[in-house]
Amino acid sequence: MHVALLANLKKNAPTWVGMSPDYWDDLDSEETINAISAALESGGHQVTFVEGDVTLYDRLRELRPDICFNITEGHFGDSREAQVPAMLEMLRIPYTGSRLLTLALSLDKPMTKRVLSYHSLPTPPFQVFERLDEVLDPEMQFPLFVKPSREGTGMGITAESVVYDMGQLLRQLRQLFERYDQPVLAERFIEGREITVGMVGNLSSPVAWRLPDDEEARRISRGLHFFPPLEVDMTRYPAEEAGVYTNRIKTVLAHEFYYLCPAPLTEDQVEELNWLAAATFRVTGCFDVARVDFRLDANDNDKPYILEINPLPGLNPEYSDLAIEAQADGWSYDVLVNRILDEAIERQEVTGEMTTPLMP
């Protein structure tokens, strides 16, 4: 098939005077794009890379791909990851991965947490700040963890994200408002192990925004393949990172990633994490692939807390969590990438013969 690989390359992103140096840290490198292209070609596909910017609409009408492999993060706006999929739906071109509502939802951590809380899924208690003079909810006990509401790749996350008193909270809020110009999320700080669970596939029952009742609980994850969980080995990073999976670890130190995969967990623990990951995948309406990040509360018998779901998990062949997890499961990178595509092809019944004509 003719696959258009859609991404936002870091090197193509706009720059301006005074822009924060981490502004485009969640965009992709050429290394990743080349690896995905090669993987898809090894699967027998013809691949064209197209930058996911404002020229995309015209380019796609010319190219008329059978399907798009979408990993665009978008440039601007609070639902930026949903912009390219919106364009693809207007053009009626099938694409890999989750759809608009899910991508907009998951980019917004507080919104995701509201959905998780509604379904009684464990996520740390939280408060969203839009202004410096907002009163801290008396139920929010220090230490708190403070982060931007709508960023990824650890942007805005440093050792100082853990705050122990009002003064530190205010300093962190001020800094994040200034730098990221968006609401700031303060959560209960979960001290403990750092685990991430990757999945490829789809739920066998239709994705619905409710959890099944108990008898059905196991059934919902059929069709989803769980990779062995990965634990970030925080003990091996410099003490300055304070046990936090920071932006520095995810960017500057990305090539010296310390992890344990499969994470040393009991079978029961893995089963519980997989169930929570599947439930999160379901209630946020994901398709084809996702990664759910957890912390296990060291002060409460390693109780798992869901930090977020990433429906566009990083796909760097060397150091992205998902690629490492797949490899630990005996899947090569090529198999991983082609499986994501195949899931999308099957789900949308893409035949390679354009059945839905492009809009004029």
Does 53 participate in binding Mg ion (rule CB under 5 A)? no
Specify the residue, 22 or 293, whose C-beta has the smaller distance to Mg ion.
293
Cα–Cα–Cα angle for 333, 334, 338, nearest 5°? 120
Specify the residue, 10 or 347, whose C-beta has the smaller distance to ligand ATP.
10
CB-based contacts of 255: which residues, under 8 Å, 6+ apart? 318, 319
Least spacing, CB of residue 113 vs Mg ion, in Å? 13
Specify the residue, 303 or 347, whose C-beta has the smaller distance to ligand ATP.
303
250 binding partner (options ligand ATP, Mg ion, none; Cβ < 5 to 8 Å by kind): ligand ATP
State which of positions 293-332 bind Mg ion (CB under 5 A): 293
Q: Collapsing DSSP states into helix, strand and coil, what is residue 338? A: helix
108 binding partner (options Mg ion, ligand ATP, none; Cβ < 5 to 8 Å by kind): none
Contact region for Mg ion (CB under 5 A) — 123-131, 166-174, 275-283, 289-297? 289-297
Specify the residue, 293 or 343, whose C-beta has the smaller distance to Mg ion.
293
Strand extents, DSSP E, the chain: 2-7, 46-51, 67-70, 126-129, 144-148, 162-163, 184-188, 192-201, 224-226, 230-232, 259-260, 288-297, 303-310
Question: How many CB atoms are closer than 10 A to CB 264?
Answer: 9
CB-based contacts of 250: which residues, under 8 Å, 6+ apart? 25, 153, 154
157 binding partner (options ligand ATP, Mg ion, none; Cβ < 5 to 8 Å by kind): ligand ATP
Least spacing, CB of residue 81 vs ligand ATP, in Å? 11
Alpha-carbon gap, residue 332 to 185, rounded angstroms? 37
- Residue whose C-beta lies closest to ligand ATP: 152
CA 163 from chain center: how many Å?
25
**Total binding residues for Mg ion by CB under 5 A?**
1
CB-based contacts of 167: which residues, under 8 Å, 6+ apart? none
Least spacing, CB of residue 192 vs ligand ATP, in Å? 8
- Residue whose C-beta lies closest to Mg ion: 293
Least spacing, CB of residue 109 vs ligand ATP, in Å? 6
The answer to whether 259 touches 218, Cβ cutoff 8 Å, is no
Specify the residue, 37 or 106, whose C-beta has the smaller distance to Mg ion.
106
Specify the residue, 151 or 325, whose C-beta has the smaller distance to ligand ATP.
151
> Which secondary-structure segment (H or E) carries 83?
helix 83-91
Least spacing, CB of residue 182 vs ligand ATP, in Å? 13
Least spacing, CB of residue 271 vs ligand ATP, in Å? 22
The answer to whether 72 touches 7, Cβ cutoff 8 Å, is yes
Specify the residue, 196 or 202, whose C-beta has the smaller distance to Mg ion.
196
Contact region for Mg ion (CB under 5 A) — 204-212, 279-287, 291-299, 335-343? 291-299
Cα–Cα–Cα angle for 256, 187, 23, nearest 5°? 50
Quick one: which of 4, 34, 39 has its CA closest to 331? Answer: 39
Least spacing, CB of residue 28 vs ligand ATP, in Å? 13
Least spacing, CB of residue 285 vs ligand ATP, in Å? 18
Alpha-carbon gap, residue 153 to 151, rounded angstroms? 7
Instruction: Give me the residues that bind ligand ATP (CB under 6 A), please.
Output: 124, 145, 147, 151-155, 157, 187, 189-190, 194, 244-245, 250, 293, 295, 307-308, 310
Specify the residue, 169 or 292, whose C-beta has the smaller distance to Mg ion.
292
Alpha-carbon gap, residue 106 to 284, rounded angstroms? 7
Alpha-carbon gap, residue 36 to 339, rounded angstroms? 12
Residues that bind Mg ion (CB under 5 A): 293
